[in-house]
A and B are shown apart, each in its own frame.
Chain A
Amino acid sequence: MAQMNMLQAILSAQKCMLERDDNVMIFGQDVGYFGGVFRATEGLQAEFGAQRVFDTPISENGIIATAIGMSINGMRPVAEIQFSDYIYPAFDQIASEASRIRYRSGGEYSTNITIRTPCGGGIRGGQTHSQSPEGIFTHISGIKVVMPSNPYDAKGLLISSIESNDPVLFFEPKRLYNGPFYGDPDAPSIGWDTHKKGEVPEGHYSIPLAEAEITRAGDELTIITYGTMVHVVETAVKQTGVDAEIIDLRCLSPIDYDTIINSVNKTGRCLVAHEATKIGGFGAEILSIIQENCFWKLRAPIERVTGWDIPYPHAFEWEYFPVPKRVGKAITRIMEA
């Protein structure tokens, strides 16, 4: 085992796959010689050569389209979209192409592309470097949507994503790259060496997609979340002292129905938390799953704590962000209902 932050874990997963499978190719803006603006591909071009790790033109559409084409010719491409805020020029290639090639061809053709993209705020990125667009993609049939919350999961899930014969959109909460974030922007930053999931095997391992993880067992309330909010929720639980069960979804599509349903049926209370905006967000889908499956076991209304229904404002980042205090208030409301 080694100590890794989330970036090192993501780099390690890619390195591992480049070593294991000659068909793996990695590319994107600034990904090659420079190693990526977040350094998630640092040193890979030097080690594996420019034929396998290279820079692309600034064209998200072109990056995903060519990735699809490469996969049809036997490759296993891993494409980086530098910020998930920039993914929209590639939307047609993801929503209408990658997601449907297997279906529309009756299973003759399929694409195995992995799209890595940093998401989320809390890094003073303003409205163009902070978005969480996962809910836009979970609505689409045919693309898997993954979002890890720690280094160990990031590596295992990224390896699974690359090995998957389906297209996978792999969101990386960039606020977590260098350490867990417990929701207080004024607290001194701490590294992943303080967290048990900062222990990461150096070799190959994988975590199955569509398996949620219960990061804290509890009996009074279920909190369903993913990404950065896993740690923020943990703070709120500590502050309120409620015996909550925290579920880190890890994979949003396909989703682990059983873990959600079993937990809420047990606790009878549920809170959903995500950083993305509320309206039409992925939380709405989770609420529906609970309503459809756990209604008669519910003892309180289900609540959502999310980003507000506005773009991520630069100057008001922490007013936008669902900080522990907001999560805590919702927990209290549910417990007192």
Chain B
Amino acid sequence: MTKHQSSRQNNLHIPEPKFRPGQTNNFAHLKIPNVDEAHKPAIDCNPHDIRDLAYGLIRVLDDDGQAGGAWNINITPDILRQGLKDMLLTRLFDDRMQLLHRTGKISFYMKCTGEEAISVAHSLALENSDMVFPSYRNQGILISRGYPLLNMMCQCLSNSKDNCKGRQLPIMYSWKAGNFFTISGNLATQFSQAVGWAMAEARKGGNRVCTTFVGDGSTAEIDFHSALTFAATYNPPVILNIINNQWAISSNQVIAGGERTTFAARGIGVGLPSLRVDGNDFLAVYAASKWAADRARAGFGATLIEHFTYRVAPHSTSDDPSAYRPADEDKNWPLGDPLERLKTHLINIGEWSETQHEQLAEQYTAEIKIDYKQAESYGTLKSGARPDVASMFEDIFEEITPNRIRQRQELGL
């Protein structure tokens, strides 16, 4: 061996999740800090002084459902109750839509089970006038902002009342009146657009905040990196959220570079304040979101938040997680179920009860049924009323062009 030869050979490293089907993942490798470990900085802090928060985990609710630590901002029981209600409605809605897919009523669906706290708490921490550039698993924001379930169902059914006019896959919602941007379906494109929206807001001197979401897997997309660079350069009022739910279809977060460092730490390289939050802790998500929104509104610019959670649901109705991850993984997730955790906390502080919970679940289930019946009366993808077929040639441009008029005629319309 000459002195220039290394004692180690190069070897292409293909990261693997620690556990695969047939094995048991008890997540013993995860370090879950206590609620009192994370400090809460002032909103005008120097991002360089809070780099530890990108590697830790901001938590407020402990394993017994007690609130504590520096990020416990004493959220009013009304807000906590509202959060629980919105999360419950989101979960029941998802379950119902999944069922509709099984019975062939809709072509596709994506649940957010286990991730409800992120969308709902974030939504409640912001103003409804704040702008959202969503990912595809943010239905909790729509529900929290009061978008009618009927409209969501009509979109999923691509029926005559679908505001997207039958052009988009189910769940790719758009709600302009609710400041909810049209969901793309191409990953991460919204992330950098959100920064642009916020740049315009900054130029106008406005005080609206823009928030946007991306998954752990799609942090690898160019848009994620453009977003961070532009956000760091222009200091616009934007909140950049990463939902790290461990899985991008079958690819574990390790295949997006998650082995080396946290996703929150991606922000440190560009000098953005970066928080890593227990995404199954409603109180923690709310507090972190509020902190980021307060910073943005006060002119201190962008914040990156990694919401650490677990995708209990399959990626979509086209996915079978049993092919790539242990069947019991979600049950062993050490951060628990966000809905159960918030419910336990509310019961602990005497602001909720099991009976109330059951009654509300029954009420929501009944309402969802009624809404669905009405939605179906407006048609489904298979039968009944559809959007006007001729309209599929419209909205390419503000005005229809001659080639599209001719093609419409060729179709006999």
Which A positions have Cβ atoms within 8 angstroms of B? 25, 51-52, 56-57, 59, 61-62, 65-75, 77, 89, 92-93, 96-97, 101-110, 141-142, 144, 164-166, 210, 254-255, 257
Contacts and interface: CB of A to CB of B under 8 A. Distances in A.
Nearest to A112: B398
What class of interface size applies to chain B in its complex with A? 35 or more
11 contacts: A59-B225, A59-B226, A65-B196, A66-B230, A69-B197, A70-B197, A70-B199, A102-B397, A104-B184, A165-B398, A254-B397
A104 B192 contact: no
Nearest to A109: B182
A245 B236 CA distance: 53
B193 A105 contact: no
Interface in B145-197: 162-165, 167-168, 172, 174-176, 181-182, 184-186, 189, 191-197
Contact of A69 (B133, B396, B403): B133
Contacts of A66: 192-193, 195-196, 199, 226, 230
A56 B182 CA distance: 26
B395 A106 contact: yes
Given A65-B226, A70-B197, A107 B394 contact: yes
Contact of B174 (A73, A92, A96, A109): A109
Given A96-B189, A97-B186, A104-B167, A69 B401 contact: no
B399 to A, nearest CB: 9
A72 B181 contact: yes
A106 B155 CA distance: 11
Contacts of B397: 102, 142, 144, 166, 254
Given A25-B203, A59-B226, A72 B193 contact: yes
Interface string B360-393: 0000000000000000000000000000000000
A102 B192 contact: no
Contacts, number: 149
Contacts of B226: 57, 59, 61-62, 65-66
Nearest to B162: A106
Chain A to chain B: the 3 pairs with minimum beta-carbon distance, closest first = A69-B196, A66-B196, A62-B226
Nearest to A256: B402
Kindly name the residue among A56, A97, A110, A210 whose own CB sees the greatest number of chain B CB atoms within 10 A. A97
A254 B164 contact: no
Nearest to B387: A106
B181 A109 contact: yes
Contacts of B175: 108
Given A62-B227, A166-B398, A105 B189 contact: no
A104 B164 contact: yes
A301 to B, nearest CB: 24
B394 A62 contact: no
Contact of A104 (B172, B194, B201, B203): B172
B230 A57 contact: yes
A144 B398 CA distance: 11
Given A109-B176, A254-B402, A254-B403, A141 B396 contact: yes
Interface of B: 131, 133, 162-165, 167-168, 172, 174-176, 181-182, 184-186, 189, 191-201, 203-204, 210, 222-223, 225-227, 229-230, 233, 394-398, 401-403
Contacts of B191: 65
Contacts of B233: 56-57
Nearest to A142: B396
Given A65-B189, A69-B200, A108 B168 contact: no
Nearest to B193: A69
A104 B198 CA distance: 22
A61 B192 contact: yes
Contacts of B176: 105, 108-109
Given A51-B203, A92-B186, A109-B174, 6 more contacts: A62-B227, A74-B204, A75-B203, A103-B167, A105-B164, A254-B397
A52 B202 CA distance: 11
Contact of A102 (B172, B200, B203, B396): B396
A66 B229 CA distance: 11
A141 B395 CA distance: 10
B186 A106 contact: no
Given A69-B195, A73-B201, A105-B164, A61 B174 contact: no
Contacts of B185: 104
A144 B168 CA distance: 22
A165 B399 CA distance: 10
B195 A92 contact: no
Kindly name the residue among B182, B186, B195, B201 whose own CB sees the greatest number of chain A CB atoms within 10 A. B182
Given A57-B230, A166-B397, A92 B402 contact: no
B197 A254 contact: no
Contacts of B229: 57, 59, 62
